[in-house]
């Protein structure tokens, strides 16, 4: 059956890497119908919404969505750039990436990690970050409410005063954690990983840590063939650099997972190489980890590899695993050969040149 693939190139180098990498779909000759949609900064400036209504409709009809990158600026900059007809209408800028994650309930952010560039032992693992709650649940405020003062007995609070303090709350729910951990174990099974590691801080965050631990072990009991391990997040950060081959799937709450996954992008060889997926029940979108890179946009310096690998993840999601393997293999080959690399990897090639080399490696592995 024909699959519908919606491409939202977005801003800056997002557009450039989409244009460079998408020809791979023609080469692979798959039953996929590609459609383009609009998203990003320009639409905020024109319409007061970075995701136009027509795009939401396209998203609802698609089997998978590919996002290039989006420029998100601070609230004030966003308001200042609205066209005069939209100003003063009380419009609030909400990051389109957040809108997508919230509206489609994309609770898991998946980042496959393997050593593409650089020295060291080959390895392959994946980081699954919770995307909807944890420390990014939105309970973040300046000033401590009077009603919490009995509970917050920290001595510094008395020294500063309740109005000279700020709090962020880490929200962990049974609902959120069960679906996350189930997804992590299913992903491990489907991708040949024999271990799932929960990266948290149970020895310091005793209550929420114990809560997560109990739920994690409860879910793990249903997956007999997969080892469940609970580690302190700082130790996981160290091991990701020193012995990443010991990991299979690493699962973490929102903030901790955010940090670990950028660390992992560094281990892979940089932002230009890191793909990601945002997964919900029956919904998904795929994007390179990098942003719109205004510092290099328009100069032909953007590394297209992350976009190729991201397209591979989307293809795998739509059931085209063999095609995804061909893309992964081609990127690996070009990066290892080291002849056609963009400046971020120490080369002097343009986005187009590196993309052409990868496309060639897809046709002739
Ligand atoms: P960024 O990822 O755009 O750039 C960080 C640094 O990495 C820059 O020096 C850039 O030149 C380099 N870089 C990134 N991707 C590259 C590639 N493919 N090839 C070579 N070099 C690459 O992050 P930054 O600068 O913090 O944010 C820029 C804009 O992107 C902001 O408006 C930000 O809000 C947005 N952003 C959007 C994301 C998304 O669409 N999901 C994610 C991160 C940032
Ligand atoms: Mg991040």
* Whole-number average pLDDT of the chain: 93
CATH code, domain carrying 12: 3.40.718.10
How many C-beta neighbours within 10 Å does residue 42 have? Answer: 14
Identify whether the C-beta of residue 193 lies closer than 8 Å to the C-beta of residue 127. Answer: no
What's the rounded Cα separation, in Å, for the pair 212 and 234? 17
- Is 92 in the same domain as 228? no
Q: Are 163 and 174 contained in the same domain?
A: no
Atom of ligand 1 nearest to the CA of 302: 19
141 pLDDT more than 80: yes
260 shares its domain with 302: no
Clarify whether residues 218 and 310 are in a common domain. no
Give the count of domains, the chain.
3
Instruction: At 222, list the tokens.
Output: 């249903």
Q: Which residues contact 39 (CB under 8 A, 6 or more apart)?
A: 8, 10, 50, 51, 52, 55, 67, 70, 96
Q: How confident is the model over 241-296, as pLDDT tens digits?
A: 999 999 999 999 999 999 999 999 988 889 999 999 999 998 999 999 999 999 99
Q: Give residue 93's pLDDT.
A: 77
Highest mean pLDDT among 71-75, 220-224, 268-272: 220-224
Looking at the structure, tell me whether residues 325 and 364 fall in a common domain: yes
Give the mutation target among 73, 74, 291 for probing the ligand 1 site: most ligand atoms within 8 A of CB.
Answer: 291
- The residues, any chain, with a CB within 8 Å of residue 238's CB and separated by 6 or more, are none
| Tokens linked to 9 | 């190139």
**Which residue has the least CA distance to atom 10 on ligand 1?**
293
Specify the residue with its C-alpha closest to ligand 1, atom 44. 291
More confident residue, 77 or 279: 279
What is the H or E stretch that residue 252 is in?
Answer: strand 249-252
Last residue of a domain, one of 268, 290, 321: 268
Q: Is it the case that residue 4 has pLDDT exceeding 80?
A: yes
Q: How confident is the model at residue 75 (pLDDT cuts 50, 70, 90)?
A: low
Atom of ligand 1 nearest to the CA of 13: 18
Q: Facing residues of 142 across strands?
A: 166
Last residue of a domain, one of 229, 245, 268: 268
pTM for the whole thing?
0.91
- Domain stop point among 227, 252, 268: 268
**Nearest residue (CA) to ligand 1, atom 16:** 272
Q: How far is the CA of 287 from the centre of ligand 1 (A)?
A: 12
Same domain, 295 and 205: no
Ligand 1 centroid vs 304 CA: distance in angstroms? 13
Question: 116-130, pLDDT tens digit by residue?
Answer: 766 677 789 999 999
227 and 214, same domain (yes or no): yes
Query: In which domain, by residue range, is 199 found?
Result: 119-135+170-268
Kindly state whether residues 164 and 177 are assigned to the same domain: no
- What is the model's pLDDT at position 295? 96
Which of 111, 17, 25 lies closest to 304, judged by CA? Answer: 17
Q: How confident is residue 95, by pLDDT bands cut at 50, 70 and 90?
A: confident
Sign of the CA dihedral running 247, 248, 252, 256? positive
Rounded to the nearest 10 degrees, what angle do helices 305-317 and 351-363 cross at? 40
Judge if the beta carbon of residue 271 lies within 6 A of ligand 1: yes
d(CA 206, CA 208): 6
Looking at residue 171, the DSSP 8-state letter turns out to be B
pLDDT of residue 269: 86
Is 278 a pocket residue for ligand 1 (Cβ < 6 Å)?
no
Q: Is 307 in the pocket of ligand 1 (CB under 6 A)?
A: no
245 in the same domain as 128: yes
* Cα 63 to ligand 1 centroid, rounded to whole Å: 26
Q: What's the Cα-to-Cα distance from 242 to each of 234, 237, 259, 267, rounded to whole Å?
A: 13, 9, 17, 10
Separation CA 294–CA 188 (nearest Å):
36
Residues 216 and 128 in one domain: yes
CA of 345 to the centre of ligand 2 (A): 20
Is residue 42 scored above 90 in pLDDT?
no
Residues 222, 302 within the same domain: no
Minimum-distance ligand to the CA of 265?
A: 2
Over residues 97-123, the mean pLDDT reads 86
Looking at the fold, whether 162 and 180 belong to one and the same domain comes out as no
């Amino acid at each position: 059956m024909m699959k519908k693939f919606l491409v939202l190139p977005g801003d800056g180098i997002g557009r450039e890497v989409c244009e460079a990498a998408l020809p791979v779909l023609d080469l692979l000759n798959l039953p996929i119908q590609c459609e383009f949609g609009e998203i990003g900064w320009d639409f905020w400036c024109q319409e007061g919404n970075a995701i136009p209504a027509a795009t939401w409709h396209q998203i609802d009809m698609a089997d998978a969505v590919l996002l290039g990158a989006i420029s998100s600026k601070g609230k004030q900059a966003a308001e200042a750039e609205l066209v005069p007809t939209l100003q003063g209408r009380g419009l609030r800028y909400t990051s389109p990436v957040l809108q997508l994650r919230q509206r489609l309930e994309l609770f898991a952010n998946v980042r496959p990690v393997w050593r593409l560039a650089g020295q060291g032992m080959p390895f392959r693992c994946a980081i699954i970050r919770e995307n909807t709650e944890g420390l990014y649940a939105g309970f973040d405020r300046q000033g401590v409410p009077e009603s919490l003062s009995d509970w917050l007995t920290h001595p510094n609070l008395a020294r500063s005063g309740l109005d000279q303090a700020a709090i962020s709350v880490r929200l962990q729910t049974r609902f959120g954690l069960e679906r996350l951990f189930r997804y992590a174990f299913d992903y491990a099974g489907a991708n040949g990983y024999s271990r799932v590691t929960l990266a948290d801080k149970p020895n310091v965050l005793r209550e929420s840590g114990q809560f997560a631990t109990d739920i994690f072990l409860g879910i793990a009991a249903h997956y007999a063939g997969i080892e469940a391990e609970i580690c302190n997040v700082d130790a996981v950060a160290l091991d990701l650099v020193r012995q990443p081959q010991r990991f299979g799937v690493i699962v973490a709450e929102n903030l901790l997972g955010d940090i670990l996954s950028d660390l992992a992008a560094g281990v892979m060889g940089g932002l230009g190489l890191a793909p990601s997926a945002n997964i919900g029940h029956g919904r998904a979108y795929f994007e390179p980890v990098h942003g719109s890179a205004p510092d290099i946009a328009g100069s032909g310096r953007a590394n297209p590899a992350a976009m190729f690998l991201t397209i591979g993840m989307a293809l795998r999601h739509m059931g085209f695993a063999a095609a995804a393997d061909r893309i992964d293999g081609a990127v690996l080959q070009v990066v290892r050969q080291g002849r056609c690399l963009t400046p971020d990897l120490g080369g002097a090639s343009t986005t187009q040149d590196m993309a052409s080399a990868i496309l060639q490696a897809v046709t002739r592995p």
